[in-house]
Structure 1
Amino acid sequence: MVNPNQFVAVVDDDESVCRAIKRLLHSEGIRAETFCSGDEFLNALTAIPSYRPACVILDVQMPGSNGLEVQRQIAQTGVPVIVITAYDDLSVRQSAFAAGAAAYLRKPFTSAILFKAVEMAIGGPPAP
């Protein structure tokens, strides 16, 4: 369950995807912050040591640091990662899960699938 002080970080180079996921999460009472690149997200983590999302929704294919690179860099934080991608590839899927991904979603996905993945990653149902 996400408490009011928690939030989900959404990292995708497609701004429309960021906006759509943020709206969906908001509709379930989940606060979200968006980042247009893996590098932007990593910079926020570095600049603000106390910055800790409850979960990260992370696109695989992005310019700069791609999703798998970002996942590797944040692995030691223990923040759950949900990997999303439009280009499903078995080796990428295996790499994501080997690095500890909580879920792997292929775009387009339904809101129900997204909510279930976030619920599983955070460890409880979303707040009403």
Structure 2
Amino acid sequence: MATPNLMVAVGDDDASVCRALKRLLHSVGISANTFSSGEAFLEMLSSATSSLPACLIVDFEMPRIDGLKLQRHLAPTGVPIIFVTATQDEAVREKALAQGAAAYLSKPFESAVLIRTVRMALGIPHLPEAL
């Protein structure tokens, strides 16, 4: 059961995390584009054929352009941002949420928690459970 025209962007500098999140989202009918850096995400957005994702799932710690910088860049668009990170700094969490993050999940997290979080961020009443 696919969710029509729903594209989520997933950013993490660990390719295995990108692959795992893409598979998880696909298992509930959500397409995902992945990127390994903030620069790659911004380049994707500047492409003539690219449109804004429905949601951004991003690691806080990425080289050069980190998650908070991407959040500030996307703030005017209203795209919900979900941070997934190993960063345990409470001040960072508070700053991300104060700047409008939809959620801040600490790695490792349960697949069902991410799916519920994406569903809430997108305002979708129901997504199937992950396979």
Calculate the TM-score normalised by the size of structure 2: 0.91
Distance in structure 1 (CA, Å) of the matches to 2:97 and 2:65: 18
Superposition pairs of residues 1-128 of structure 1, within 5 angstroms? 3-48=3-48, 51-124=51-124, 125-126=126-127
Unaligned runs of 5+ in 1: none
CA-CA distance at 1:42 after TM superposition: 1.2
> With CA pairs under 8 Å and 6+ residues apart, which has the higher RCO, 1 or 2?
1
CA-CA distance at 1:61 after TM superposition: 0.4
Unaligned runs of 5+ in 2: none
Q: Is the 8 A contact 2:44 2:50 kept in 1?
A: no
Task: Give me the identity figure in percent.
Answer: 55
Deviation track 1:3-23 (CA, whole Å, cap 9, x = no partner) reads: 321111001100000000000
Deviation track 1:37-85 (CA, whole Å, cap 9, x = no partner) reads: 1111012112337511110001000101001111111110110000111
Calculate the TM-score normalised by the size of structure 1: 0.93
Aligned AA (1:122): L
Q: CA RMSD in A?
A: 1.6
Aligned AA (2:27): S
SS of residue in 2 equivalent to 1:84:
strand
Matched residues, number: 127
Q: Is the 8 A contact 2:54 2:80 kept in 1?
A: yes
Runs of 4+ displaced beyond 4 Å: none
Compared with structure 1, are the counterparts of its residues 77 and 127 closer, same or farther at alpha carbon in structure 2 (3 Å cutoff)? farther
